[in-house]
């Protein structure tokens, strides 16, 4: 199963990606984490990327596409993946389409976590993160509840970087959603409730049939369950029970 988590900075992609990774036992591919690891290791790419991340801007499409091309060819992605943070531009989305085509592994679903801009700004300002497990916490939280470790503020969660991040998202990343809506792959989730409520909706969306380009397909049935007329693009009322992959 190949899933893509789509949403603005602060929409909860990382949290839901971790839930999906645990639930389905598939690999979490997070380009932001990959870039931060390069920065931490002081690689040439990390040195190049550091000021770009700190300013809330995007690393170039060429670099990001090459990074994902290498990552998806690694054996731990063979059973499937949850992608978080890529694609962030339409050229990246097109490159991913052709890569998935080459690998013979279609994208099964795009989960869109929808959160209003005011709420995003509120969540990002002063947010703290555990450097070990990447869990995020509200300002003034003492320590990570999973690791007990000290929390830090991400450089791009500082006030001066938060607004540019949202602006670049609105300008460059919102068109990516239209790209996938056109392909009939998007399930939209209200990203405002509790983490548990949102997780339930995400799992229901993944398990529900998808209406795409006139075909009804189920990602859990290997995209073969053609069934005219059924299915819905939004989880909710029917809430089919999620299954393990």
Known active-site residue 69:
no
Tell me if residue 21 is catalytic: no
Catalytic residue among 69, 114, 127, 163: 127
Distance of CA 135 to the CA centre of its chain: 14
Which 45-74 positions form the footprint of ligand ADP (CB under 6 A)?
52-53, 56-59, 64
* Catalytic residue selected from 71, 105, 154, 244: 154
In 3-state terms, what secondary structure has residue 83?
Answer: strand
Q: Given the residues 13, 36, 109, 123, select the one marked as catalytic.
A: 13
**Cβ partners under 8 Å of residue 157, min gap 6:** 124, 125, 126, 127, 129
**Chosen residue from 6, 81, 86, 112 binding ligand ADP by CB under 6 A:** 86
- Of positions 38, 108, 156, 188, contacts ligand ADP by CB under 6 A: 156
Quick one: residue 148, left, alpha or beta (phi over 0 = left, psi -120 to 50 = alpha)?
left
9 binds ligand ADP (CB under 6 A): yes
Minimal CB distance residue for ligand ADP? 32
Residue 109 as a binder of ligand ADP (CB under 6 A): the answer is no
Query: Is residue 35 a contact point for ligand ADP (CB under 6 A)?
Result: yes
Binders of ligand ADP among residues 178 to 237 (CB under 6 A) are none
β pairing state of 109-114 and 128-129:
unpaired
CA distance 206 to 220: 8
Distance CA 43, CA 39 (A): 7
Active-site annotation holds for 135: no
Q: How far is the CB of 94 from ligand ADP (least distance, A)?
A: 13
* 222 within 8 A of 42, measured Cβ to Cβ: no
Q: Which is nearer to ligand ADP, 57 or 239 (CB)?
A: 57
Number of C-beta neighbours around residue 220 at 10 A: 18
Closer by beta carbon to ligand ADP, 26 or else 68: 68
Any idea which residues carry the catalytic annotation? 13, 88, 127, 154, 165
């Amino acid at each position: 199963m190949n899933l893509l988590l789509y949403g603005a900075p602060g929409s909860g992609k990382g949290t839901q990606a971790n839930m999906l990774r645990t639930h389905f036992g598939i690999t979490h591919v997070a380009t932001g984490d990959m870039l931060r690891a390069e920065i931490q290791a002081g690689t040439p790419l990390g040195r190049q990327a550091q000021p770009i991340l700190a300013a809330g801007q995007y690393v170039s499409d060429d670099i990001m596409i090459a990074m994902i091309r290498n990552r998806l060819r690694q054996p731990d992605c063979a059973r499937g993946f949850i992608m978080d943070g890529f694609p962030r531009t339409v050229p990246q989305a097109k490159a991913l389409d052709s890569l998935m085509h080459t690998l013979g592994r279609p994208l099964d679903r795009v989960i869109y976590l929808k959160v209003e801009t005011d709420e995003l700004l509120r969540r990002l300002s002063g947010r703290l993160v555990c450097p070990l497990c990447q869990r995020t916490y509200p300002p003034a939280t003492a320590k990570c509840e999973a690791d007990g470790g000290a929390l830090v503020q991400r450089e791009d969660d500082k006030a001066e970087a938060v607004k540019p991040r949202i602006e670049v998202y609105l300008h460059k990343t919102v068109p990516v959603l239209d790209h996938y809506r056109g392909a009939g792959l998007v399930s939209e989730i209200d990203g405002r409730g509790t983490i548990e409520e949102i997780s339930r909706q995400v799992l229901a969306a993944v398990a529900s049939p998808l209406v795409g380009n006139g075909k009804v397909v189920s990602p859990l049935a290997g995209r073969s369950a053609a069934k005219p007329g059924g299915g819905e693009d939004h989880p909710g009322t029917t809430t089919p029970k999620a299954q393990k992959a």
